[in-house]
Structure 1
Amino acid sequence: MVLPTSKKNVGLGKAMIRSRFRGGTRPKDHDTDLVHTTDMDDGPSWTKLQSITQEGDLDSFLRIAELADTDFTAHRQNVTVVSAEDNNPFLMSKDEESRVQKLHKTFQNEVVIPRRPHWEKTMTAREVQRNEQTSFLDWRRSLALLQEANGLLLTPYERNLEVWRQLWRVVERSQLVVQIVDARNPMTFRSEDLEKYVSEVHGGSVDCLLLVNKADLLTDSQRAQWADYFDKNNIKYKFFSAKISNVELERELEREMAELKLAEQKAKDDEDEDEDEDEDEESDNDEENKPESAEPVLPENNDDEFYPSAFGKSASKDPRIQILSCSELLDLFHATAQPSTNPEIPEQYRNKITIGLVGYPNVGKSSTINALIGTKKVAVASTPGKTKHFQTLHLDNKTILCDCPGLVFPSFATTQANMVCDGVLPIDTLREYTGPIGLVVRRVPKWYLEALYGIHISMPTVEEGGDGTNIPQPEDFLKSYAMARGFTKAGQGNPDEARGARYILKDYINAKLLYNHPPPDCKDAEAFNKEIYCVENLPKKKLFTAAEPTKQKKLLGTNTNLLTSKALDSQFFTSQKSLSAHAISKGKYQTDKFGRSTVYPHQRMANADGTISLQSSGPQSEFMVKDKKHRKSKKNGKVRNRMGYDV
């Protein structure tokens, strides 16, 4: 049979010829796919502002070469680059950690942020850019030498010059620089050198304020200890919670909407009454018979919705530990900052104060701005680095908020596991999870993990290779969690520990697993968090499983929803004697008595004197003896007839 003709030549010979000469084209001048190169600095602004905190050896080499304007020529095209991670992603022992912390105090003043070099109006843009690149390259080189010479480990700080330029612009135009930190670990998110840089730029005329966000996660005693530490070190601070402010704002909006609907409904009812003056009695009856649900109900102020415990409700009268509201925070801004006297600033902005908000990614800068403004003006995301460019927002006639992109400042760290648990590094791109989970099981007690997730963490004994402590291994915790949640690997059926680790770490960052770091002068972290890990702070669904046997009886009372399966079975079967254990028969010929087959006479029950009982156990017994037809329907036949279903 002859193949149909086609307009395209699809024969085998053409394919062989094309495969033979494939790859023989010479590279053109604009073709850079076959040589090692870096990205050109001529793209759009959003490509320049991509945050870079981690680089491989090759990427770091090429980026430094780009900053130095160094050209390289590739002599060989068949080059294979092998990169190996030489950092230790696992945890340190207590002795090693104490030794490293001593080194951190020794070289603390040498970890600085990059400064903007001096510039003048007579300089060209190329000269200013060249000076900034040279200064930035020297700064990176100094940190690398410090890290290699002393065997220290630095955090994966920001390596993109364009992101640091955003910080320089925010500091230069601000009359008050607010450094936002996470209340669970304030000292890790605080940059001391940033305060020095602000003083260098403005000559000491601009103050810095440490805004401790997420303060509702701290108890009164914990906030008091942090307040003592800040006062001792002359640090200007205030406690704030963007979450509480946003929730209160939403409730206020709901209340206003409900009041507006109620006013509209009353106005409509008044119009109906004016039109129907002759039918007052009927209208009165209609109003009496009107259901209550027709009127809009104002939302109740239930503080338990956003307070997981009583942490946010401060019972102390100490003004230092009070959580400021949005209005109180704005009053503090106006009292601290002064309008700028720079003649270069336009006249319409001289009477306004600019508040610069700076901090690490995911500490709540955008949420704080949304709480102050009252609307969602800034995008909020759990992934670090959502804000890509500094933004100026006019709050009122006297205040301008300047939001800086999230910056990872250079600082000392023990391992990358601490960075993951602090929320600086993204979890979705995490490859090594045993280190961060190891920190979680060290910080959170075992019984609290079991009660919160409803699991049992099996630990090996000393004979089986266990360490004899009450701290589980990360693998044991992840296996129990993955098996309870049904996370299995495809094709194997083994517990998917990596997937379970991502869920647990996100719970830790979102404060479902709460752990607060103590001040540096407090050595006992377990006693600092003792007030957090109690049965009362667990969700209501987990209270009974975590309570002791004596507390379980008090929790039970008359509430049968908290009964365990064993208690429910014992109460049910002991109260109803008719449900005692007995043999029954199920099927088409089941009876109320003992389920014994009595189709034939020799299968019938015997009396006390040994004679055969004439009482039949089933209505079909005699019929079965006379007729041996099994009367079984087809298995795959329909179960419905004209009378309904055969049950």
Structure 2
Amino acid sequence: MPRKKPFSTKQKKKQLQGKRERKRGDTGSGPSSRNASLERGERQSDTSDSETTDVRKINQQPFAREGRYDPNRFRLEKVLKPLSGKEDEISIDDVFPPEKGLGFPRRPPWSYEMTRENLLKREEKSYREHLDDLHSRNPEGSLSHFEHNLETWRQLWRVLEMSDVILLIVDIRHPVLQFPPSLYNYITGELGKQVILVLNKADLCPPPLVIAWKHYMTSQFPHLQIVCFTSHPGEAYSTVLQKKRMRKKADWSHAGGPLDILKACQEITAGKVDLSSWEQKIRRDAGAEQMDGERLDDGLETVLVEHQTDIAMEMNSPSQELYKDGVLTIGCIGFPNVGKSSVINSLVARKVVSVSRTPGHTKYFQTYYLTPTVKLCDCPGLVFPSIVDKQLQ
């Protein structure tokens, strides 16, 4: 048996270094390795975003340890000037300028004589034409990130077609960024349906700000129904901010806003739909609490959940009659992470939709029957095109 050759620490270090380089894909050294690293960085960057972003180095590190130079020594002495009140303000026209053509893709006309394949081809062609027109009106890099998945837009089309009343849910902390005027005008104008603006997460803002937002949205859209909503009512504004947003067990029956949504729907339907069962459900859920906060009727009441298939969604009637068969269909739409799932859970008074901090958690179109005469339609979150800066977005 041959004698083993001695293996020094220097050789072992060189061997490990070579193994690490092979794992990273850096087979060379020196300039070639640096070029490979630069190529990887270019591939990881967003090539579609042509605008350059100045990165503010908060804690710059010195390149060499020699000397006593510290680049962060006087950084905290720089005075930060707060923005003025006017610079903090933004209007809907600043986010969705009318002259920019920042609409959303519409479903092309169709009939029952068309085959499924022809319908899909027509929708794809119309969607491509919409994107071409949108990019031709706006310079490259000026648009914000927005939804490019046609399947998600199709689910919005189905919800708008089959719903009688639309709940447009926004986060009250920045509702202007999440209220596309083109969507509101399309629903109230071409479809002839009513919109209820739900200012969700009202517990995260002080009451004067809530009143100010309601006044502003009413001044911009006089015929808009506005409802404030919160999943944790009765808590002080400062207390809510100190608590964790994700509770171990949420109590959906204590939400503030379901009764206001009911009153808005009663005003819109004007007695054409019997909503007494919905009112009884809200009052029953609000009063079915024990002293320790546990529900008395858990498991005694079921909620019918329907998962819509692609074929069922594709062949909805383009001109569906309002309140068909005496049922009020309420569609829930909005941007990702505005709390649509929490609103639906609060209306049902139990958890039927999973809730997550991750935007875009809801991915499929579903319907929920609150009562035999009230049905909810949940649509995945959609980001509409705007001119908001990508970094701010």
Q: How does 1:569-584 map to 2 (within 5 A)?
A: none
Is residue 243 of structure 1 aligned with residue 231 of structure 2?
yes
For residue 116 of structure 2, what is the amino acid of its counterpart? A
Deviation for aligned residue 1:227:
2.5
The 5 A counterparts of 1:284-363 are 303=235, 307-308=239-240, 324-337=256-269, 350-363=325-338
Provide the residue aligned with 2:122 in structure 1. Answer: 131
Matched residue type, 2:261: L
Amino acid at match of 2:52: N
* Residues 228, 146 of structure 1: alpha-carbon distance in 2 compared, 3 angstrom cutoff: same
**How far, CA to CA, are the matches of 1:344 and 1:308 in structure 2?**
44
Provide Cα deviations, 1:354-375, integer angstroms capped at 9, x if missing partner. 0101000000000000011011
Instruction: Identify if the C-alpha distance between structure 1 residues 91 and 234 changes in structure 2 by more than 3 Å, giving closer, same or farther.
Output: farther
2:130 and 2:322 mapped to 1: Cα distance?
37
Measured against aligned partners, the alpha-carbon deviations of 1:175-201 in whole angstroms (never above 9, x if no partner) come to: 111110000001001111111221354
* Equivalences, count: 264
Of 355, 362, 387, the residue aligned with 1:380 is: 355
Letter in 2 for 1:209: I
**TM-superposed deviation, 1:223:** 2.1
How far off is 1:129 after superposition? Answer: 1.1
CA distance in 1, matches of 2:95, 2:323: 47
1:54-133 to structure 2, matched below 5 A, reads 83=47, 85-90=49-54, 107-108=98-99, 110-133=101-124
Distance 1:361 1:227, change over 3 A: same
Contact 1:358 1:365 in 2 (8 A): yes
SS in 2 for 1:408: coil
Give how far 1:389 is off: 1.2
Residues of 1 paired with 2:165 and 2:337: CA distance?
A: 21
Query: How far does residue 130 in structure 1 lie from its aligned partner after superposition?
Result: 1.2
Question: Which whole-Å CA distance do the structure 1 matches of 2:380 and 2:360 have between them?
Answer: 7
Residue 146 of structure 1 pairs with residue 141 of structure 2: no
Gaps of 5+ in 2: 2-42, 57-80, 243-254, 274-316
Deviations 1:462-492 (A, max 9, x none): xxxxxxxxxxxxxxxxxxxxxxxxxxxxxxx
CA 1:112 to 1:345, structure 2 compared with 1: closer, same or farther past 3 Å? closer
Partner secondary structure for residue 260 of structure 2: helix
Deviations 1:123-152 (A, max 9, x none): 11121111111110011111211222xx66
Q: Is the 8 A contact 2:333 2:380 kept in 1?
A: yes
Shift in alpha-carbon separation, 1:103–1:388, aligned structure 2, 3 A: closer
Residue 106 of structure 1: how far off its partner (Å): 5.3
Distance apart, 1:232 and its partner CA: 1.8
CA distance in structure 2 between the aligned counterparts of 1:364 and 1:192, rounded to whole angstroms: 20
Q: 1:224 aligns with which of 211, 222, 234?
A: 211
Where do 1:131-280 residues align within 5 Å?
131-148=122-139, 153-202=142-191, 204=192, 206-235=193-222, 236-244=224-232
Measure the CA separation in 1 of the matches of 2:172 and 2:225.
Answer: 11
| Range 218-227 or range 130-139, more displaced | 218-227
Matches within 5 A, 1:511-550: none
Shift of 1:91: 8.3
Q: Cα gap change, 1:227/1:344 in structure 2, threshold over 3 Å: closer, same or farther?
A: closer
User: Are the equivalent residues in 1 in contact too, given 2:164–2:330 (CA < 8 A)?
Assistant: yes
Question: Contact 1:359 / 1:406 at 8 angstroms: preserved in 2?
Answer: yes
Q: Using the TM superposition, give the Cα deviation of residue 103 of structure 1 relative to its aligned residue in structure 2, in angstroms.
A: 7.6
**Higher-Rg member (1/2):** 1
- Per the alignment, residue 64 of structure 2 pairs with none
Alpha-carbon distance in 1 for matches of 2:363, 2:159: 13
Q: In structure 2, what residue type is equivalent to 1:231?
A: T
1: distance between equivalents of 2:190 and 2:97? 26
Aligned runs of 1:391-470 on 2, under 5 Å?
A: 391-413=366-388, 415-419=389-393
Residue type matched to 1:230 in 2? M
Percent of pairs with identical residues: 31
RMSD: 3.8
Q: Which amino acid aligns with 1:326?
A: P
Residue 234 of structure 1: how far off its partner (Å): 2.6
- SS of 1:417 mapped into structure 2: coil
Cα 1:165–1:305 change in 2 (3 A) is same
Q: How does the TM-score come out when normalised to structure 1?
A: 0.37
Could you tell me whether the CA contact under 8 Å between 1:170 and 1:356 is conserved in 2? Answer: yes
Kindly indicate whether the alpha-carbon contact (under 8 Å) linking 1:244 and 1:306 is maintained by their aligned counterparts in 2: no
SS of residue matched to 2:326: coil
Note closer, same or farther for the CA distance 1:91–1:174 as it changes in structure 2 (3 Å cut): farther
Find the aligned partners of 1:240 and 1:213 in 2 and give their Cα distance: 6
Asked if structure 2 preserves the Cα contact closer than 8 Å seen for 1:238 and 1:324, the reply is no
Aligned equivalents of 1:401, 1:217: Cα separation in 2: 26
Letter in 2 for 1:187: V
Tell me the equivalent position of 1:550. Answer: none
Tell me the distance in 2 between the aligned counterparts of 1:123 and 1:156: 34
Q: Which SS does the other structure have where 1:243 is aligned?
A: coil
CA distance in 2, matches of 1:228, 1:397: 35
Change (3 A) 1:347 1:119: closer
Query: Matched residues in 2 for 1:405 and 1:373: separation?
Result: 18
Say which SS state the counterpart of residue 232 (structure 2) adopts.
helix
Sort the Cα spacing of 1:122 and 1:216 in 2 relative to 1 into closer, same or farther, 3 A.
same
Q: Name the CA distance, whole Å, in 2 between partners of 1:348 and 1:196.
A: 21
Q: Is the 8 A contact 2:200 2:339 kept in 1?
A: yes
Larger RCO of the pair (alpha carbons < 8 Å, separation 6+): 2
Residues 372 and 158 of structure 1, relative CA distance in 2, 3 Å threshold: same
* Paired residue secondary structure (1:416): coil
Unaligned runs of 5+ in 1: 2-57, 59-81, 246-301, 311-322, 420-647
Q: Distance in 2 between matches of 1:105 and 1:189?
A: 10
Contact 1:146 1:152 in 2 (8 A): no
1:617 maps to none
Cα–Cα, structure 1 residues 174 and 412, in superposed 2: closer, same or farther, change >3 Å? same
So what's the TM-score if we normalise by structure 2?
A: 0.59
Indicate how the Cα distance of structure 1 residues 112 and 324 shifts in structure 2: closer, same or farther if over 3 A, else same.
same
Q: What's the CA shift string for 1:385-427, capped at 9, x where partnerless?
A: 11111111001122101111000111111x22221xxxxxxxx
